[in-house]
């Protein structure tokens, strides 16, 4: 029984080795055309360079955005300060008018 199994295994491995050599000769490596390899390399490198330039531009844009943001913030703060100052001045004027009116009324009553 063992001998029979062994012989079957041996046959299978022999068949496989023959079949493997057929596969070996059928699946031979091929070379890509030189022109294709060269052109693709050039395209890849030029796209990589473009990508780099794009990155540099986007860094520049980022700095510009930060600067614009800061300027806008300064503008908002200045407007708010002006509003506060105007309010305070308005209040002062209002109280001055009231005081003068009170004074006038006091003078009239005396």
Partner 1 sequence: MPEQSEDAILCQAAQGDGEAFGALYERYVGRIYNYIYYRTGNASDAEDLTARVFYRAMRHIGNYRDRGLPLSAWLYRIAHNLVANWHRDNSRRKEIPLEDSMQGHFTGSHPETDLLQWEERERLMRVIYKLSSERQQLLILKFVEHLSNAEIGQIMGRSEGAVKSLYHRTLLALRDEYENL
Distances (CA, A) of 31 to 35, 37, 44: 11, 10, 20
Residues 38-77 that bind partner 1 (CB under 8 A): 40-41, 43-45, 47-49, 51-52, 55
Judged by CB under 8 A, does residue 11 bind partner 1? Answer: no
Burial class (CB in 10 A: 0-12, 13-18, 19+), 98: exposed
Q: Site for partner 1 (CB under 8 A): which residue of 30, 107, 108, 110?
A: 30
Q: What is the DSSP letter of 28?
A: -
Name the site residues for partner 1 (rule: CB under 8 A): 15-16, 19-20, 22-33, 36-37, 40-41, 43-45, 47-49, 51-52, 55
């Amino acid at each position: 029984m063992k001998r029979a199994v062994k012989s079957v295994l041996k046959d299978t491995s022999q068949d496989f080795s023959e079949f493997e050599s057929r596969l070996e000769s059928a699946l031979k490596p091929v070379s890509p055309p030189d022109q294709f390899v060269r052109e693709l390399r050039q395209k890849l490198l030029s796209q990589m360079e473009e990508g780099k330039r794009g990155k540099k531009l986007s860094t520049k844009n980022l700095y510009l955005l930060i600067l614009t943001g800061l300027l806008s913030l300064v503008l908002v703060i200045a407007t708010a300060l002006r509003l506060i100052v105007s309010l305070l001045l308005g209040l002062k004027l209002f109280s001055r008018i009231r005081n003068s009116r009170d004074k006038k009324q006091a003078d009239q009553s005396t």
